A and B are shown apart, each in its own frame.
Chain A
């Protein structure tokens, strides 16, 4: 859940800054990473055909892996796709195990990859991380949250005027497009 924010604060830390703070033992930085990415990680597991219980396990495994990898994670700004990839691989393992154990009619549905374009999904989420907050928070709330919150709810959460949400959304999408196109050029 996004937290209401008052004006005049420092810009929210990047993923890389949060990971650095985790390496120094800062639990509040870890909490922020959990807040940013728990839903994404959980959703990748769900989209791979797992039950909510198994998807919760996969999410925990992904964050345990993250903790264990803090000292050797190289591309800090690619945390989103790193977690997505761990969740996807582990989900495959659970699905494969379930197929071995279950009668066919109970086995998770076989799909090669439920995310039609995995690379696009990971590039998009890394670009959202590059975009940073508050734009990232706004676009995630508007376009990714399964509950589809209203403009009024989002404005309330973010401590902004409802009239500013539409124009801000346009600016944030334009920035996101620029980041993704610069990434394509690299």
Chain B
């Protein structure tokens, strides 16, 4: 009869971490357990195997770089009234509902125009284009693009850095933050399941360029 392995030795054995001689002993002990019906030992080995299988089925993937910051900021943003200082109203807000051709919607039927929406918000050199692609009972799908209308006037672009494109866009309702997104290096962002009752869009493009637009995003 071989010495009964401890739980830790069983783990080591199943993970190939034992020296050869001790691994043989544990294998022999497990064989003995099968012969004599030592369920305690067999159950322990079965549990470890199941744990290995189950842990392998949901590996924890690292999150994108900025996500942790956004998740942390979410709590602080919601703990205090939305900080509106420094945000300025836009010079222009053009909505496809009112002026479809002015925002590039051409030739669409009224029904097609009702299924999507494009809103252009501009102030100085900054232009934010919001596309509301879909509205379901779960919320809106929103795509956005931030561009610099006049790159020559933009301090980042003129210094060869990615433009105002690492911008932050917050979507709020009645002053309460619902979603914050950060643009990628191409100035684009997408957000799904955005609550349909968003009533303000807040854009912070750095260098004090902050724009706040009262815009309802819902399609209907």
Contacts and interface: CB of A to CB of B under 8 A. Distances in A.
A44 B58 contact: yes
Contact of B178 (A64, A116, A166): A64
A31 interface: yes
Contacts, number: 134
Q: Which bucket holds chain B's interface residue count?
A: 35 or more
B59 A173 contact: no
A116 B54 CA distance: 9
Given A38-B68, A169-B11, A174-B7, A146 B47 contact: no
A25 interface: yes
B67 A144 contact: no
A57 B8 CA distance: 40
Contact of A170 (B12, B52, B54): B12
Contacts of B7: 170, 173-174
Q: Classify the interface of chain A: helix, strand, loop or mixed.
A: helix
B72 interface: yes
A120 to B, nearest CB: 5
Contacts of B78: 67
Given A124-B55, A143-B51, A43 B61 contact: yes
Interface in A59-106: 59-61, 63-64, 67, 90, 93-94, 97, 100-101
30 contacts: A30-B72, A31-B75, A34-B72, A39-B60, A42-B67, A57-B192, A57-B193, A58-B193, A60-B67, A60-B179, A61-B193, A63-B71, A93-B193, A115-B57, A116-B57, A117-B57, A121-B57, A121-B58, A124-B51, A124-B54, A144-B58, A144-B59, A169-B11, A170-B6, A170-B7, A170-B8, A173-B11, A173-B48, A174-B7, A176-B51
